């Protein structure tokens, strides 16, 4: 009804990772540093600025991983670990290399 539908501002557009790489296929991200997962839309803002905006970090307080370059699409990790669940459990450690 004459409603102009331009530049849909979704939560996703706030995420630097989504801006850089587009949305993940799984909706979950896996952190290369702490090997835990979090929702694609979650991140912690750092005091450090990147292009005038706070850097987006892994939302787990004890992790200094970056939410852009250190975050993998969960589906990418599952290609290496098909035994991992389709929906990862937050705050659970999912190692990239199984330790024996």
Q: Does residue 77 touch Zn ion according to CB under 5 A?
A: no
| Cβ-based nearer residue to Zn ion, 10 or 39 | 39
Can you list the positions of beta strands (E) in 1-100?
28-31, 37-39, 44-50, 53-57, 71-73
Q: How far is the CB of 90 from Zn ion (least distance, A)?
A: 12
The CA distance from 94 to 33, in Å, is 11
Taking CB under 5 A as the binding criterion, the range among 14-22, 43-51, 57-65, 81-89 that sits at the site for Zn ion is: 57-65
The CA distance from 47 to 55, in Å, is 7
| Cβ-based nearer residue to Zn ion, 18 or 63 | 63
């Amino acid at each position: 009804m004459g409603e102009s539908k331009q530049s849909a501002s979704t939560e996703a557009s706030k995420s630097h990772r989504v801006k850089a790489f587009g949305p993940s296929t799984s909706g979950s991200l896996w952190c290369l540093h702490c090997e835990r997962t979090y929702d694609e839309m979650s991140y912690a803002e750092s005091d450090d600025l990147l292009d005038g905006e706070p850097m987006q970090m892994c939302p787990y307080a004890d992790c200094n991983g970056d939410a852009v370059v250190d975050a993998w699409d969960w589906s990418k990790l599952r290609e290496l670990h098909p035994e991992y669940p389709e929906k990862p459990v937050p705050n659970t450690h999912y190692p990239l290399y199984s330790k024996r």
